[in-house]
Structure 1
Amino acid sequence: MKNHAITLEDRYCAHNYEPLPVVLSSGKGIWLWDQDGKRYMDMMSAYSAVSFGHSHPALVAALSKQASQLAVVSRAFYSDQLGPFLQLLCEMTGMPKALPMNSGAEAVETAIKAARKWGHKVKGIADQTAEIIVCRGNFAGRTTTIVGFSSEDQYRDGFGPFSGGFVSVPFGDAAALEAAITPRTAAFLVEPIQGEAGIIVPPEGYLAKCREICDRHNVLLICDEVQTGLGRTGRLLASDHDGIKPDGLILGKALGGGLLPVSAFLAREDLMAVFTPGDHGSTFGGNPLSAAVGHAALRLLREEKLADNAQRMGERLLTGLRAIPHPAIRQVRGKGLLIGMDLDPSFISAREFCERLMQQGILSKDTHDTVVRFAPPLIITANDIDAALEAIKHTFSSLLTPPAHLTERSYA
């Protein structure tokens, strides 16, 4: 008999997701529990949004305290929370200015608007002709502008017409970037590691080469670190691995502490200066509640040295996964606690593997049909990593046996 919660969601919610057949009801730290009380290790962290684990007491306390005092006011007024939050964010990232938003997609849209206006007003590109270079395989959100520069057919299918103004080049190919630059090029927008594309890590030194090329051609380098930023890859920012500083930086997901949506576009002074009152805004962006939680999340990230833990635990997980001797594994790649395991579909699809893994008490999600993602909260311990590896090994050893209690659709 189908679970009542699943029945209700299937009946009343648009079918824009295809969830695994589990109904979650509570979470604490790296753990989740379903309605029947079964415990699962969260190896997805809501695409990095839950980097601090579920219901972290320090973050819940900050949320509760601020919610009981002042939650939302318009940016038409000042609040006592936004300034301290943005000060810490700018100090930690080394960026001089920040513009707060809510979702990652909103922050990406903000970056696009800033780059286009900078291109026209500062660089001198003719109005309405500025171009932004992006990479194939990118994923920056779901707005019509953003899907308009996606290379994924499904993301675009039926949603046009699109705004244009984007040029696509292969990811990881600095020479292709330089070849695509013209006098109309305002910016290069890039993920340091492509997440949704399957945890694609570029060649070492790629961003450093891109930085040099952008400098030489007076092109903005904007790093989309909504998923890779704030400790996920073992450094505060994934761009830190190449020792570069972008002109624009996009953060989100973990910035909200796993409790509410908080994002920001950060930039150098002359780039952010293109915004004047009335140019851009957000009803909820920078509200006191979000600012208080974001400030607490940043302090937690710094005080508990979670980027360092991500580096150590990521190495442990990567080493363990690469040591599994199974022919279904084609490649294991990643940095820190952002890891993708690419499976041979002739053995098993990534979706089926995630369903089998769920039976072992591990929750993750596939991407691009063949890749299983492993991105647990940054608070994970060595014992937790070892337990996860044992469950993953067991799942591989039982590939010939269909998992119990899966939906009929899974094995139709």
Structure 2
Amino acid sequence: MTTLEVSMTTERTTAEIDRVERHAAHNYHPLPVVVAEASGARVTDVDGKSYLDCLAAYSAVNFGHGNPRLIAAAKAQLDRVTLTSRAFHSATLGPFVEELARLAGKDMVLPMNTGAEAVESGIKVARRWAYRVKGVPADQAQIIVAEGNFHGRTTTIVSFSDDPDARADFGPFTPGFVHVPYGDADAIAAAITPNTAAVLLEPIQGEAGVMIPPDDYLPRVREITAAANVLMIADEIQSGLGRTGETFRCDALGVVPDMYLLGKALGGGIVPVSAVVANSDVLGVLTPGSHGSTFGGNPLAAAVGLEVVRMLADGALQARARELGERLQRGLDKLIGHGVTEVRRAGLWAGIDIDPAVGTARDVCLRLMEAGILAKDTHGQTVRLAPPIVIDEDDIDLLIERFGAAVGAA
């Protein structure tokens, strides 16, 4: 911690942070707060101070901490069975995959655990589809990806990242990926060859700072890939499941990809749940032994995931994200030119660029933390906001007020 960060902590908080620093790998740079309890859109630290959570575990807690419906589903399943492996069937897996497929308008689901696993699985499926269906020569399949992407940090995924922190000293890297600028459909069209298996994109680039492409981008990518017999893979791990005001961000643009990659909110903030969702003409290339996961689709995960799907079925949460997002936008727009240089927002998800004159994005996040607001910085000058969709209007107003103070606009 910096001197400033140390000065912001109590003795108990400092002791807990020191314990983590001594015994946990240093692969994160968290804010100096130690959360002990949480409910809805609020968390409480070890000293009893309450904070408004405006990150929601990078959208894994879309439906709030300790959501009663999700907790009830998890508790009920804990008393039944939690793990069988896929060596056997379980009573919760069938309903989960059936209803998730229906929500996505597809007919098949590959359940996994983490978002990175979903991406890795999608890559494997796309390659096998290229060889067995499209007829690409063995080991020649290519996948087009976007510059500035974030799909996880496994070895294969960082092979096509351009983030030096994610790549440095982790080579040799996996071949088979072609980079193009994000938001440029013409570049995708130019990069496609007979060996192209898929185009893998985030509908909105979250880690990059909530970067929203032009409205015609995803529709054009869909047209280009369909014409070229190339799979379109939408990584909706952060943007999906209500965050941007629709079930999937692709829905807002009238786009139906060949494959959805889902995670984070699918586990309701309780257990890790991810999935690859596609039609059987794509996912059907998997055969017994070709892919697997001991915990993927386990009974507990399936029970929680099923309740998440059912919560999204009537569209009320998606509408709430749209409405509250518009309220957030109106407040943040007033800060442009007053410590903020740009605001990008979709639903209840925003990237706010901070004027360097008022400090770095981390400086602003520390000021927000002191004021009872938890947010996270990325790429030096951008603050990301993604509060749980269950946040209320008064807390949205409080967030705007305190953000203004943190950038010197109030």
TM-score (norm 1): 0.95
User: 1:199 aligns to what?
Assistant: 210
Structure 1: how far apart are the matches of 2:406 and 2:377? 15
Within-5 A mapping of 1:358-377: 358-377=369-388
User: 1:244 aligns to what?
Assistant: 255
Q: CA deviation at 1:393?
A: 1.6
- Which ranges in structure 1 are unaligned for 5 or more consecutive residues? 400-412
Percent of residue pairs identical? 51
Q: Deviations over 1:362-383 (max 9, x none)?
A: 0010011111011000111212
Structure 2: how far apart are the matches of 1:398 and 1:328? 6
The aligned amino acid for 1:141 is G
User: 2:4 aligns to what?
Assistant: none
| Residue 65 (structure 2) pairs with residue 54 (structure 1) | yes
| Residue 403 (structure 2) pairs with residue 392 (structure 1) | yes
Within-5 A mapping of 1:175-186: 175-186=186-197
The aligned amino acid for 1:6 is I
| Residue 110 (structure 2) pairs with residue 99 (structure 1) | yes
Q: Deviations over 1:272-305 (max 9, x none)?
A: 1110001000010000000000111121233571
- Which ranges in structure 2 are unaligned for 5 or more consecutive residues? 1-10
| Root mean square deviation, CA, Å | 1.2
Structure 1: how far apart are the matches of 2:218 and 2:315? 28
Within-5 A mapping of 1:302-321: 302-303=313-314, 305-321=316-332
Matched-pair contact (CA < 8 Å) for 1:197–1:367: yes
Structure 2: how far apart are the matches of 1:119 and 1:177? 18
Q: CA deviation at 1:326?
A: 4.1
User: 1:272 aligns to what?
Assistant: 283
Within-5 A mapping of 1:105-254: 105-254=116-265
Q: Which residue, out of 12, 29, 32, partners 1:21? A: 32
Q: CA deviation at 1:397?
A: 2.7
SS in 1 for 2:302: helix
Structure 1: how far apart are the matches of 2:236 and 2:315? 21
| Residue 298 (structure 2) pairs with residue 287 (structure 1) | yes
Q: CA deviation at 1:68?
A: 1.2
User: 2:5 aligns to what?
Assistant: none
SS in 2 for 1:337: coil
Structure 2: how far apart are the matches of 1:174 and 1:106? 27
Q: Deviations over 1:240-286 (max 9, x none)?
A: 11101110110000000010100000112211111000100001000
User: 1:334 aligns to what?
Assistant: 345
Matched-pair contact (CA < 8 Å) for 1:51–1:378: yes
- Which region of structure 1 is more displaced relative to structure 2, 321-330 or 211-220? 321-330
Q: Deviations over 1:369-405 (max 9, x none)?
A: 1110110001112122111111112222389xxxxxx
Q: Deviations over 1:316-374 (max 9, x none)?
A: 10111011254421100020011000112243100010000001110010011111011
Structure 2: how far apart are the matches of 1:130 and 1:266? 21
Count of residue pairs brought into register by the alignment = 399
Structure 2: how far apart are the matches of 1:278 and 1:304? 37
- Which region of structure 1 is more displaced relative to structure 2, 102-111 or 341-350? 341-350
Matched-pair contact (CA < 8 Å) for 2:61–2:269: yes
TM-score (norm 2): 0.95
The aligned amino acid for 1:69 is R
Structure 2: how far apart are the matches of 1:198 and 1:303? 30
